[in-house]
A = this chain, B = another copy of it.
Amino acid sequence: MGKALEFEVLHQDSGTKARRGRMRTPHGTVDTPVFMPVGIQATVKAMKPESVEATGAQIILANTYHLMLRPGSDIVREAGGLHEFMNWHRPILTDCGGFQVFSLGHMRKITEEGALFSSHIDGSRHMLSPEKSMEVQNDLGSDIIMGFDECAPPDASYDYIARSQARTTRWLERCIEAHRFPDRQALFGIMQGGFFRDLREESARDIVKFDLPGYAVGGISVGETKEQYIGVLDYAPDLLPYDKPRYVMGIGTPDYILEAVERGVDMFDCVEPTRIARHGMATTSHGRVNIKNAKYERDFGPLDPDCDCYTCRHYSRAYLRHLFKAGETMSAMLLSEHNLRFLSKLSEDIRKSIEEDCFTEFKRDFYGKYYGSAE
């Protein structure tokens, strides 16, 4: 295994554990650290693939849970796979579907076999198991696929987390067995264990034995405090192999990204940049901007004077405010493009700072500007 993905650490920052790396996948190269935009239903919301690419995105995420229910992974397979179906020809990572299923609360039941759940679309009953997750992700044809895990709630007991974490390891073994295309789809394992160091150590030890092409630190972006998040990151990445990519799922704010990178994480994703865009919010180098604000009514300057994105090059805050107030789709289109560019540019700047051994200075300067003038 491992042929589907090659990874190398090109350089480590002299003052921190931040790494500058490079992944090779069947659909191209990805420079790390990297932010990955999310296209839940085989489309990054309100953006053409060319616009996503123009933001500097190198790899995007799609969701197993959503696509297995609609349109159905068999249809995507018959279309020639997800890349062809959605017209995105760079790398794609798919999640395992577990997170969405476990979020269904009383609509799902977890057993050793997997998770039995009711569809949020039509209430129909489905089983998502390690084997099913692999079948769906094999159908989708994504470059990186994720092992089926349970992401336990942050307030779960030690005993519950211990049992859940051990089951996730057993599920991972079944995933490896069921995965049909290890030569062209790289399977990542997910470390669990909540906020208990001994359970994290146990989880890491057990999954690292499988010598997979990459690993994720799971269960630390689901309602925990920032202190808990950093607490786990202080030791968890070091429990994973140095020469494999490390992924933290579901983080998309600059501070969560910077703290993770500093501790040796290479990959991260989040729906936040496109979600807040639809609510008229933008992330800029000077902090958050709420475009609905009346003070932008006659503000003919760009959203972010330091940004080189399509939106900032062509449109004013006054126009963006008008679009949002008028309920125009173009508002979400333009703010999404800016917000994704912001996180791609942050990733580029992070990579450059690591190459130049000045990640710590970069992070300090970024925070000064970002928090110094936020609304």
> Of B47, B66, B87, which one neighbours A315 at CB under 8 angstroms?
B87
A70 touches B325 (CB 8 A): yes
A75 touches B41 (CB 8 A): no
For this chain, the copies found in one complex come to 2
Chain B: CB-nearest residue to A44: B330
> Of B46, B48, B78, B316, which one neighbours A300 at CB under 8 angstroms?
B78
Chain B: CB-nearest residue to A85: B319
Chain B: CB-nearest residue to A80: B300
Chain B residues near A41: list those with CB within 8 A. Answer: 322-323, 326, 328
* Min CB–CB distance A50 → chain B (angstroms): 9
Chain B: CB-nearest residue to A87: B314
A15 at interface (Cβ–Cβ under 8 A)?
no
From known contacts A43-B328, A70-B326, infer whether A78 and B298 are also in contact, taking CB-CB under 8 Å: yes
Within residues 311 to 332 of chain A, which ones have a CB less than 8 A from any CB in chain B? Answer: 314-316, 318-319, 321-323, 325-326, 328-330, 332
Chain B residues near A297: list those with CB within 8 A. Answer: 71, 75
A86 at interface (Cβ–Cβ under 8 A)?
yes
Chain B residues near A85: list those with CB within 8 A. Answer: 316, 318-319
> Of B70, B319, B323, B330, which one neighbours A79 at CB under 8 angstroms?
B319
Chain B residues near A314: list those with CB within 8 A. Answer: 87
A42 at interface (Cβ–Cβ under 8 A)?
yes
A333 at interface (Cβ–Cβ under 8 A)?
yes
From known contacts A85-B316, A300-B78, infer whether A322 and B71 are also in contact, taking CB-CB under 8 Å: yes
B42 touches A319 (CB 8 A): yes
A246 at interface (Cβ–Cβ under 8 A)?
no
A330 touches B43 (CB 8 A): yes
A45 at interface (Cβ–Cβ under 8 A)?
yes
Chain B residues near A333: list those with CB within 8 A. Answer: 46, 48, 329, 333
* Min CB–CB distance A114 → chain B (angstroms): 24
Chain B residues near A70: list those with CB within 8 A. Answer: 322, 325-326
A298 touches B75 (CB 8 A): yes
Docked complex Cα distance between A321 and B41 (Å): 12
Chain B residues near A78: list those with CB within 8 A. Answer: 298, 300
From known contacts A86-B319, A314-B87, A318-B75, infer whether A330 and B45 are also in contact, taking CB-CB under 8 Å: yes
* Min CB–CB distance A86 → chain B (angstroms): 7
Within residues 42 to 88 of chain A, which ones have a CB less than 8 A from any CB in chain B? Answer: 42-43, 45-48, 51, 66, 70-71, 75, 78-80, 85-87
A residues whose Cβ falls under 8 Å from a Cβ of B: 41-43, 45-48, 51, 66, 70-71, 75, 78-80, 85-87, 297-298, 300, 314-316, 318-319, 321-323, 325-326, 328-330, 332-333
